A = this chain, B = another copy of it.
């Protein structure tokens, strides 16, 4: 058994400087101008894993955004823990809202500020350092594998393709994903579900070309007006989505789950003021805020294109209008199914004089995680030992498209993490609390040790062999 507290105390100065090195690389995957930086971040992680004792390190499937595949020493008869994470980051805009530059990691008041600090480099780093800690005697307690991608913020296409070809990569006894925060400071959480996503463009065409509103207004159809009427027809002012069949697919969380959510400390006033920053919450009032955020589908309009939006006054009747919209999906609502329902609802609302099309640009199926899995019980114990409180089961309203794929070979997925709710991921002044990183090293280290007390999947070691000999 490793003394993780001693390990952290002995190495934290070096470790902080290592993480700052990684955070300095602007590995923005949505911007092709940063392809070389993504490659640099992958190299940094690969070299690091190699130095820590991975017997295999490979860069898979892409030159620009390679998947880092690291395989720790073989531990026959012991479980396989697959660690998933990502080294790419969101764009840092708006730059002028950062207190210190996004790629010059800076410690202030016990927090490390940088783009990617919490999403996801800092969290991946905590697991890598836990691996370093358990590698102290060159024989880790379990079979540890790393699957670190560079496209999480831009669709994970490379990883989707890889897993379609080589699904056995994710054969494991546990998949550990540290890409989510604590529920509150001192309250570690495990995500028991993620909403899915169905992102679409609704395009309306009403005429050959834009028309003069003076000459034709009153008799000519207006694409924006038509689109607005369709969009208004898709949701009531009270927040009910009017897509026939959509709610038939909603499975309400069990009484036990809802009871557990009710026990979570939650201050609606503070949530409204500090997080949402609005005058009032909206949505279906018959449901709690947690149900609205975690267990009910949403329909959002993201933007409307077409016509005239410049300065001044152009009196044009737009011939074409396009709305970007999306639905968040909850368990049982597959992306494919919801695509069909949305298309049908839009077509029904479309008037005969307009050409209306719906195209789909992005999406993800929802995820439910079995909260009774062994790895979650193990993580709960690790957190209890170190934090003095086990994990509370929560869900996330967001989507991590690759998660359903990680579960496809049957391994229980653990969605947890050491971020805090105010880490401002995707926003200026993203940060991670430094003490949370050290807590993470200790918790994930104990997680590896405690997993070793469980029985591994049959043929774990030979699977490891297969994977590493590719």
Nearest residue (CB) in B for A273 is B208
Q: Mark A405-427, 1 if CB is under 8 A from B, else 0.
A: 00000000000000000001111
Give, as a whole number of angstroms, the nearest-CB distance from A420 to chain B. 12
B283 lies within 8 A of A316 (CB): no
Interface residues in A, total, Cβ within 8 A: 94
* Chain B residues in 8 Å Cβ range of A279: 206, 221, 352-355
B213 lies within 8 A of A326 (CB): yes
B313 lies within 8 A of A426 (CB): no
* Chain B residues in 8 Å Cβ range of A315: 197, 199, 300, 302, 326, 426
Q: Mark A256-294, 1 if CB is under 8 A from B, else 0.
A: 000000000000000000011111111110000100110
Complex alpha-carbon distance, A318 and B278, angstroms:
12
A312 lies within 8 A of B209 (CB): no
Instruction: Verify if A164 is at the interface (C-beta below 8 Å from B).
Output: no
Nearest residue (CB) in B for A289 is B219
Interface residues of A, Cβ cutoff 8 Å to B: 30-31, 90-91, 93-94, 97, 154-155, 195, 197, 199, 206-222, 224-225, 228-229, 231-233, 235, 237, 239, 275-284, 289, 292-293, 296, 298, 300-319, 322, 324, 326, 328, 351-355, 361-362, 396-399, 424-428
User: Knowing that A206-B278, A222-B301 are A-B contacts, what are 20 other residue pairs whose CB atoms are under 8 Å apart, sorted by A's residue number?
Assistant: A208-B277, A209-B277, A209-B428, A211-B277, A212-B425, A213-B298, A214-B398, A216-B276, A217-B293, A217-B328, A221-B279, A224-B304, A225-B231, A280-B353, A301-B318, A302-B316, A304-B307, A304-B309, A305-B309, A314-B324
23 A–B contacts from the bound complex (CB under 8 Å): A30-B314, A31-B310, A199-B315, A209-B424, A209-B427, A212-B398, A213-B302, A214-B398, A215-B397, A217-B298, A219-B281, A220-B282, A222-B282, A224-B301, A225-B235, A229-B237, A300-B315, A303-B307, A303-B308, A304-B304, A312-B362, A313-B326, A316-B427
